[in-house]
Structures are given as C-alpha cells and as structure tokens.
Amino acid sequence: MSQLFDQIVTAHQQLRPQVRVTPLERSILLSQQLGCELWLKCDHLQHTGSFKFRGASNKLRLLSSQQQRDGVIASSSGNHGLAVAQAGKLMGIGVTVYVPENAASVKVNAIRALGAEVILIPGDALNAEIAGEQAANEQKKVYISPYNDLQVVAGQGTCGMELVEQQPDLDAVVVAVGGGGYISGIGSVLRRLSPKTQLIACWPENSTAMYSALQAGHIHPVDEQDTLSDGTAGGVDPQAVTFPLCQQLIDRQVLVSEAEIRQAMRAIAASDRWIIEGAAGVALAAAIKLAPELQGKKVAVVLCGKNIVLEKYLAAIDDAHS
C-alpha cells in the first residue's frame, strides 16, 4: 500500500494540467436537511464527466513509446471507455473499447465521437472485460482495465489528494463502489494522510459484486439486476487487485435501493442544481441513509459522474417525486 501511495503522489504532481482539480463545495441546504456539514466532491466536473479520466490519463502517461504507437484496448460500461478515448486522443494513441451491450447510449456515442473504435459485447461489464483482455493478448496491445490495474488506481487516487488538500479534517468520505479502483485510490490517501477519516463504501442493492465479495471473504459470481447506477454495475475480476485493498481500507458498507438513488438524484438537483448519474446518486443516497449517525460531522460525498441519458434522468427524478 505504501508503494501505491507513492504512485498516487507522483500522479498528483504529473497529471496537471491535463487532469482538472475538481471543486469541493459545501451544500448549505443538504447540510441543513441532514444535520451534518455536507461537502460535495464534484468529480462529475472532471473532463469527460467522470473521475475515470484520472486513471486513464495516468495509465497512458506511463506507456512506452512503442506501446503508445501500438494503441490500447479498454473495457468499460461507458465512463472508463470515454476517459481512455479522450486521453488517447490528447496523446495521439489509438483506442479500442469493448463495451457491454446495456451500456448507456450517451456514453457509447461519446466514445465514438472521440474517435475510438467501439465493440459491443453481450452480457455485463465482466463479459466486456474478458473479451477486451483476450483481444489485447491476441493483438499484443496494452489492456487498460477499469480498476484491475494499480497504475489506474493511482490515477483515481489523485481525487483523494485533492480532498485532503481542500478539507483536511473530514470525519467521513462516502464513495460508490463498482470494481473498487476509485475507493482504493481515495482510501490509500486517507489512510496515510487522514487516518481518522471514516471511509464509507456504498452500492445499489441491485448490483453488489464487490460488497458480496467482501462479505464472503472472496470474489464469487453474483446475480445482478438492472440499476440506475450503471457506472458501478457488473462483476469483479476474480484476480482483482482492488479486492485486498477494499478489505483493508473500507470502514463501513452501505446498500441503497433504487428508490433511494432516485430520491438522492432529485434532492441534489433541488438543493445544488447538479445533474448527476446514478452512481453518484448512490453515494448521496448512502449519506442520506446514514444521516442519524453522521449528525454534527464533516462529511464529503464524492460525486463520481454525470453521464446519464437525459430521458433516463428525467424519468428517475420524476419517479422520485411521485
């Protein structure tokens, strides 16, 4: 973990100005409603509309000249692919993205618009990961996992460096979890620089791959249902480097319902005028759910992304109102 922290510090120094330092803003209304000092880490304002640009930029930065010429392959439910495509475009690196067929259309179309080749794969994010990794092996190209790569995790961890710089005395940080790369990076920073800060992980009840693995003590297949949080959906690689990190770093685990996600998305639109995607709604929903035990505390909710189909978003906040 010490080596990972050192990599995060280096990434934090090297990735500027390509990677944006996103604001940490206090939500006055949500703070009043929840009875705590609630801060919003606005990583939905990162380039490409999600935190994934951090990890993608760090990974491509570390490729050899030959690897950059050969091009790279990524797998993604949308945001990671979009991030790799944008970082690749900026650096002149060819990108192919393997995407599950159920990925949000707004993300798939945006990946194509950035010049990357998109290959749709039946099944969930894990199926796309397997197909992408196999293709990379066959074509002798670098495969960029959404989370199963410590160089990607180090890039995601730069969000944690910003958090500590912006608000060094946080009592808790709430992060939605998919494959675990984001929370592993953020948690590695908090463990070193702010060990008193509680790291709260959260998932939609309908998609609990890493949660179930942590409960069981090992990664295993999990039945998934549809969720608004497509950014965290899908299985976890059996050899995921993030699993032991999540075991060591996460202090609290929370599940939220689809109704709670919708209500959180509506709440932040009303309070702070932010449009967020379902995965970001998971984090806010968890903070709302835990409000009784967070009373009087200084809490940061990490808003991981904003890439959601407009019609899906409008339907979600309309359902939350009814």
pLDDT (tens digit per residue) in 190-223: 999 999 999 999 999 999 999 999 999 999 999 8
Q: Is residue 108 included in any domain, yes or no? A: yes
Is the domain of 207 the same as that of 262?
A: yes
Q: Which of 143, 159, 177 is the last residue of a domain?
A: 143
Integer angstrom CA distances of residue 254 from 96, 126, 183, 287, 322: 35, 23, 14, 9, 25
pLDDT (tens digit per residue) in 288-321: 999 999 999 999 999 999 999 899 999 999 887 7
Q: Which of 103, 118, 143 is the last residue of a domain?
A: 143
Q: Is residue 7 included in any domain, yes or no? A: yes
pLDDT (tens digit per residue) in 214-271: 999 999 999 889 999 988 987 788 889 999 999 999 999 999 999 999 999 999 999 9
Q: What pLDDT does residue 261 have?
A: 98
CATH number at residue 177: 3.40.50.1100
Q: Read off the pLDDT of each residue in 55-76 and give the average, rounded to a whole number.
A: 96
Q: What is the pTM of this model?
A: 0.94
Spatial CB neighbours of 171, under 8 Å, sequence gap ≥ 6: 196, 197, 198, 294, 297, 298, 299
Q: pLDDT band for position 122 (50/70/90)?
A: very high
3-class state of residue 201 by DSSP? strand
Number of folded domains that form the chain: 2
Is the domain of 164 the same as that of 174?
A: yes
Q: Which of 93, 118, 143 is the last residue of a domain?
A: 143
% of the chain exceeding 90 in pLDDT:
84
In 122-240, alpha helices (H): 125-139, 150-156, 158-166, 181-193, 209-216
Q: Read off the pLDDT of each residue in 145-151 and give the average, rounded to a whole number.
A: 93
Is the domain of 246 the same as that of 130?
A: no
Is the domain of 273 the same as that of 207?
A: yes
Provide the angle, in degrees to the nearest 10, between the axes of the packed helices 181-193 and 158-166. 40
Domain that holds residue 81: 52-143
Sign of CA dihedral 183, 289, 219, 56: negative
Q: Is the pLDDT of residue 113 over 80?
A: yes
Q: Which of 220, 162, 225, 170 is nearest to 195 (CA)?
A: 170
d(CA 218, CA 212): 8
Q: Is residue 33 included in any domain, yes or no? A: yes
d(CA 217, CA 118): 35
Q: Read off the pLDDT of each residue in 140-151 and give the average, rounded to a whole number.
A: 94
d(CA 112, CA 82): 9
d(CA 230, CA 308): 9
Provide the angle, in degrees to the nearest 10, between the axes of the packed helices 105-113 and 79-91. 10
Helices (H) and strands (E) counted in the chain, each on its own, are 15, 10
Q: Is residue 322 included in any domain, yes or no? A: no
Integer angstrom CA distances of residue 28 from 34, 77, 266: 10, 33, 16
Token couple for 83: 């991030």
